[in-house]
Amino acid sequence: KNQVEQSPQSLIILEGKNCTLQCNYTVSPFSNLRWYKQDTGRGPVSLTIMTFSENTKSNGRYTATLDADTKQSSLHITASQLSDSASYICVVSARDSGYALNFGKGTSLLVTP
């Protein structure tokens, strides 16, 4: 069964600190992995997308890594800001299913002053 597990479920950090969110998946055959940022009640915003051959990708203060061998990904946030408070969702798609995306439950991040 294709699954995407994220940890931690929630995280509170002080403004200016760094943090790392984890995503483990069992989706196979792997196609790509995406990280989204989503505020409550809002639509998701795509941060990064990585295919099998990519093992790191940055978007400003966000850096995602992918280890396709261990089926793990991480999202590192540098110098956090209050506006980083949001839910971060890991989504993995399989190569042989044109439709299905497998969603993680997300990590809820709260950045405090």
Of 29, 70, 99, 113, which lies in the binding site for other proteins, with binding defined by CB under 8 A?
A: 99
List the interface residues with other proteins, window 32-61 (CB under 8 A). 34, 38-44, 46
Task: Choose the binding region for other proteins from 17-25, 56-64, 66-74, 88-96 (rule: CB under 8 A).
Answer: 88-96
Q: Which is nearer to other proteins, 37 or 66 (CB)?
A: 37
Write out 56-101 in H/E/C secondary structure.
EEEECCEEEEEECCCCEEEEEECCCCHHHCEEEEEEEEECCCCCCE
Q: Rounded CA gap, 32 and 20, in Å?
A: 20
* Total of residues contacting other proteins (CB under 8 A): 29
Closest CA relative to residue 78, chosen from 61, 56, 65:
61
Q: For binding to other proteins (CB under 8 A), which residues are involved?
A: 9-10, 34, 38-44, 46, 83, 85-89, 91, 98-101, 103, 105-110
